[in-house]
Chain A
């Protein structure tokens, strides 16, 4: 199974600042035939279901602010949130969909806004 490891487990960033969350896969999620990384990012606020932010590692879902960006390839990925707003406080998860079953998620990163 693919193991997804996020870092850090939690972070606190000032309002208006930039947050960087890392995700490392135990194996590459880059499919060579289409050059796509099979990785998604989700945001989960307290008491709410997860919300898709990014897929194909860097494609923003419709309606997601451009403050959210994804980057990386192969085994190492980053979610960057710039110009942090209070409403960005949440837990963020990465997920691979390259090799299923099973779909696997990272353990989550809790973002606090100072």
Chain B
């Protein structure tokens, strides 16, 4: 069974930094693109970032480019999101997400964690 467990969400002041982590299990981690998707309170889904299965390529939403950095450690089956220069509009539930197709960047999302809440206060 695929499990994705996020951690690291806290209340942080505007301008601050935070590191989110996701522990993955139940699948061959280094075969899949991994992503972060966020959801502001009461709002819809917004894709944030992705990293390919080998860590060779990363992509970011314009709203976080230059402030967030995605990384993965395939030896530890872990995914991370380093967040800096946080803004109040970054307040959201951050989901760790698994790509649906092996070794594919362009893919649907087939498994989601429960999410970790990041609150940026002013």
Chain B residue numbers with a CB within 8 Å of A107 are 44
**Segment of B11-19, B23-31, B109-117 engaged in the interface with chain A:** B109-117
Which residues of B have CB within 8 Å of A108?
Answer: 44-45
Q: Nearest chain-A residue to B35 (Cβ)?
A: A103
Contact in complex: B60, A105 (CB < 8 Å): no
Q: For the complex, give the distance between the alpha carbons of A52 and B115 in Å.
A: 16
Cβ–Cβ < 8 Å partners of B61 in chain A: 101-102
Bound form: Cα–Cα A103–B62 in Å: 11
Query: What range describes how many residues of B lie at the interface?
Result: 20 to 34
Q: Identify the stretch in B71-79, B84-92, B99-107 within 8 Å (CB) of chain A at 4 or more residues.
A: B99-107
Residues of A within 8 A of B60 (CB): 101
Q: How many residues of A contact B (CB 8 A)?
A: 23
Q: B112–A50 contact, CB under 8 A? A: yes
Whole-angstrom CA separation of A98 from B114 in the bound complex:
26
| A50 x B45 contact (CB < 8 A) | yes
Question: A52–B108 contact, CB under 8 A?
Answer: yes
B113–A49 touching, CB < 8 Å: yes
Contact of B106 among A42, A44, A97, A106 (CB under 8 A): A97
State the CA gap A52–B100 with chains docked (Å). Answer: 10
What residue in chain B is nearest A48 (Cβ atoms)?
B114
Residues of B within 8 A of A102 (CB): 47, 59, 61-62
| A93 contacts across to B, CB distance below 8 A | 44-45
From B35, B45, B95, B111, give the contact of A105 (CB < 8 A).
B45
A38 contacts across to B, CB distance below 8 A: 106
Between A95, A98, A103, A104, the greatest number of chain B beta carbons within 10 A of the residue's beta carbon is seen for A103
Bound form: Cα–Cα A16–B12 in Å: 46
By beta carbon, the residue of chain A nearest B58 is A101
Besides the contacts A97-B107, A106-B44, what 19 more A-B pairs have beta carbons closer than 8 Å? Answer: A38-B106, A40-B108, A40-B109, A49-B112, A49-B115, A52-B109, A52-B110, A52-B111, A55-B100, A93-B44, A95-B45, A95-B108, A98-B106, A101-B60, A101-B61, A104-B47, A105-B44, A107-B44, A108-B45
